[in-house]
Amino acid sequence: MKLNLKIAAATAAVAMMSTGAAFAAPTIVTAPLTNTYSAEGLALLGASAVALPTITVTFGNNLTYQDDILITLPGTTSVAPTVTPGLVTCAGATTNAVGYVQTVAGGWNFRVTDVGGITIGATCTFTGLSVTASSLANAAGAKLTYQANRGLTTPTVIVDGPVSTATGVVVASQFAVSTQQKLNGIIDVYADRKSFFDPETIAPGAGILQDTLNFSTFTTGGPTVITDWVAATVVTPTAAVTTITGDFAWVDGTDTNTTCDAAEFTTAVTGYAGYTIGSTSNCTQLVLTQTAPIANTSVTGFFAVSGTKVLNATDYVATTEFSYSLGSATGKKPVAWDPGAWTINGAQVYIQYMPYGTGLSRIVYAANDGVLNPDVTADITANGSTFSCALGTAPAKTVTNLSGAIDTCVAAKGIVTGKVAILLTFIAPDQDIEVYSAYNAGGVDRGTVVNSSNGRSFFYGTGVTFP
C-alpha cells in the first residue's frame, strides 16, 4: 500500500513538471518602450492612419495550425495593414508561420499558417500596424494586448494570454506655460495707492515701483520636456500670443486719451526678450507676441508703475494661444495660466451702482470696528471715466455717514442723473470695515444696494458665504 502511494505521488510530480514545461509567461512589448503622440497632431490628422510602434510577442504556449492570434488596442479603430513580407517576422518559427486574416474591434486577427505550429518561446514581431489618429487620441492610456485562441473552436478557447504591454498609449499636448515668479505686488494705501508696500526683490524687477513676472512657454511638452514624440504626429508651432487680462489703467500716461497705447506699454512692461507688445494692448489687457521661431522659451521681465497713477487691486489672468501646422493643416491651442495678482494693504468696498436723479437720495454708512481712524477715498466711475475724491475719515468704533461727501464729489463733475459706481478705499485692515449702501426714492421706498462688503456673506459680517 505504501509503495503504491509513493508511485502515485511520483507520477503526480512528473505530471506537474510536464505541465509546467508546457507553459510559460507570454509577453507583448513595443520598441521603443515609450512613445508619446502629440494631441494636437492627432487632432489635425483626424481619420488618417497613424502607425503604432513595432510590437513583439513572445509565446507562452505551443500554438497549432489555424490558431488565432489577436493583437488589440482597446478603444481604437484599426486600419487594415498592407500585407508584405515584413508585416510579421518570427524567430524560432518558420518564415510563414503567421499570416494576416482581418481587422477586429480595436485590433487585428492573425492566424498560425504553419502546419507544424509554433513552439513555446518563439517570438513574432508585427511592424506597421496602424489605427486612426482620432481614435488613438481617445484611447490614451490603453494598453496593447495579445491573446491566442484555439482555431476553429466554438465556444472560444484561449490557449495563450491574454497579456498587455507594461505601459499604455501616451498622448500629450505639445504646449504648456509655467511661471517662475508671479505678480504679487501689495498696493500701498499709505502712498495713495501709487506704489507697492514691499519693494520687489526677485530679478529683474527692483524697488517699490516694480513687480516681476517670469514665465516659460513650451512647445515640446512641459514643464518636463518630452523627448519620445512620434515624429509623424508632431506639429510645427508658427505663432504664440500671450494675453494678460486685468486692470492696466495705470499704464496710461499724461496724454489726453485713455486708451493705454501700445507705445505706453513699452515703458510700463520691461524685459521679455523675444516678445513684442501687440497693437491690441489696451487698458484691460496686455498682449505679448512671441517672435519666430516659436520654441521652448523662458523669459523674464517686470511691470513698472509710474508712481503717479492710482493702482487697483487686480487678479490677473492669462492665456497663451499657440498656432501650429502639420502639413497643410493648421490649428490653435489656448493655454490658460495664472500670472498672479495685485492685492492691497487696506480695505476696499465696491458699490456696483448708485442712482442719481429727481427724488432720489443715497445712503452710504461705513462701520469701523477697529482702533484706527482711517482716511477714506472714493473712486467714482461714470459716463466712461473715473475720478477720485477724498471723503474724510471713518473714526474708530463709529458708524460714519459718507453719503453727503459722495454726493458732493459726484456733483462736482456735473452728474445729476444716471448711475455711478463707487470704489471706497479705507486706510485700515479689511476686517475692520463694513459698508451699508442703499438709495431712497421719493422718501418712501428704500432700495438696498448689495456691495462687495454686505454682499460677501449671508450672515452679515460672519464670513459665511452664499451657497
- 83 alpha carbon, distance to own chain's centre: 43
Architecture in CATH for domain 346-448: Sandwich (2.60)
What rounded mean pLDDT belongs to the chain? 90
Nearest one of 211, 371, 373, 398 to 302, comparing CA atoms? 211
> How far is 74 from 63, CA to CA, in rounded Å?
24
Residue 115: Cβ within 10 Å count: 9
> How far is 42 from 235, CA to CA, in rounded Å?
9
The per-residue pLDDT for 460 is: 42
Please count the CA atoms within 13 angstroms of the CA of 179 that sit on its side-chain side.
19
The per-residue pLDDT for 154 is: 93
Q: Reduced to 3 states, what is the DSSP secondary structure of residue 111? A: strand
Residue 351: Cβ within 10 Å count: 24
Within the chain, all domains assigned CATH 2.60.290 are found at 346-448
The per-residue pLDDT for 258 is: 64
The per-residue pLDDT for 10 is: 35
Instruction: Report the top-level CATH class of 176-343.
Output: mainly beta
193 Cβ neighbours under 8 A, 6+ residues apart = 187, 310, 311, 312, 344, 425
**Cα angle, residue 350 at apex, residues 345 and 351 outer, rounded to 5°:** 155
The per-residue pLDDT for 436 is: 95
What's the chain's Rg over C-alpha atoms?
36
Four-way CATH pick for 24-170: 2.30.33, 1.10.4030, 2.60.40, 2.60.120: 2.60.40
Q: Reduced to 3 states, what is the DSSP secondary structure of residue 49? A: strand
The per-residue pLDDT for 306 is: 93
Cβ atoms of residues 146 and 158 within 8 Å: no
Within the chain, all domains assigned CATH 2.60.40 are found at 24-170, 176-343
> How far is 322 from 331, CA to CA, in rounded Å?
8
pLDDT < 70: residue spans in the chain: 1-23, 254-258, 445, 455-467
Beta strands in 394-431 (DSSP E): 398-401, 418-426
The per-residue pLDDT for 45 is: 98
Nearest one of 343, 257, 271 to 303, comparing CA atoms? 271
